Amino acid sequence: MGPRLRDPMTFGTATTLILAGLLVYSAWLTSIVFSASNGHRPLLIAAAAFFPVGVVHGVGLWCGGW
């Protein structure tokens, strides 16, 4: 193990991880709210049960893909 693996996390790395986590959570939440408000029950169940489905659907909604 090199010394790089023992160094503390830098501010830039922590900021990037936090922003990525917020982006993923926001996409998932967008999918849940959209599916619930438009009556798409199968998609709501899939997005709630399988996190990546909700994230992909949420990002697709943001980009206007569907």
Running along the chain, 66 residues long, what does each successive block of 10 average in pLDDT? 71 96 97 94 93 95 88
Dihedral of CA atoms 20, 24, 29, 34 in degrees, nearest 10, equals 120
Kindly report the length of the chain: 66
Query: How confident is the model at residue 16, as a pLDDT?
Result: 97
Rounded Cα distance, 26 and 30, in Å? 6
| Sequence-separated (6 or more) residues with CB below 8 Å from residue 27 | 54, 55, 56, 57, 58, 59, 62
